[in-house]
Amino acid sequence: MFTKAITRKPCKALIDGITTYLADGKPVYENAIKQHDKYVATLKELGLQVTELDADERFPDSCFVEDPAVVMERCAVITNPARDSRNGEKFEIVDAIQKFYSDDQVFHIEAPGTMEGGDVMRVGDHFYVGQSDRTNAEGARQFNDIVTKFGYTSSTVPVVEGLHLKDFAIYLENNNMLVSEIMDKEPAFKDFNRFVVPAEEIYAINSLYINGTVIVPKGYPKTQKAIEDMGYPIKLVDSGEFKKIDGSLTCLSLRF
């Protein structure tokens, strides 16, 4: 059960955010603000107390607060983002994290380990850590050493497409997952009920389960129907401006 979330307002510099979705063009700041406001309002509608951090113009991607930290009930891990343009974000999230955790519950991934929260998918008390261009084996090892002290477990899975694990596999609770065609073949996920999202709707894999409801990106009817057919109530949120800089629904908040 989630009760809290941390978000950060988009900055005007987000037009310079990291992107592979070049065909979609650059995000429009004013539209991004409106979409972000709707996203935060939706979290609040679902019962979360949201801490809204101010925009940080030094870091174009800083609205994606999920990447510089991984939070859970018993501890929090400040990650070590792999890209230079994002690495400084880890220092700016610490104060917000420390409002909710004591000093002995906050840990850091240290170089040469790298990690971004978009590669960390939680299933119960287990974490699947995607090994990707952003999260390396040393980062995953340090993460495992930290969380196992608090009764959690973790294992790694390869990310062989795109940016982060959660762009291609998302757990929706009740043993249900949304996966890409490639992640459908991942042995670690064989015992889950998997819905393979069609290639043209791949962005919709990154839907967000909050306390029984699933927030789904607007504009992906096949995935929306699949989630509804699983029995979940849904809320549609437009995140199209964030898609242009490789961002999606889970990226925009830390939930705990």
Catalytic residues: 164, 251
Pairing outcome for strands 106-108 and 76-78: parallel
Q: Which of the 8 DSSP states describes residue 55?
A: P
| Cβ atoms 116, 89 nearer than 8 A | no
Residue among 154, 147, 163 nearest 64 (CA): 163
The dihedral sign for the CA sequence 249, 250, 251, 255: positive
- What CA–CA distances, in Å, run from 108 to 112, 161, 203? 12, 27, 30
Encoded tokens for 70: 């991984």
- What CA–CA distances, in Å, run from 180 to 156, 165, 192, 201, 208? 17, 10, 14, 10, 16
Please classify residue 242 by burial: count the beta carbons closer than 10 Å to its beta carbon, then call 0-12 exposed, 13-18 middle and 19+ buried.
buried
Rounded distance between C-alpha atoms, residue 13 and residue 29, angstroms: 8
The dihedral sign for the CA sequence 210, 213, 219, 225: positive
CB neighbours of residue 190 within 10 Å: 9
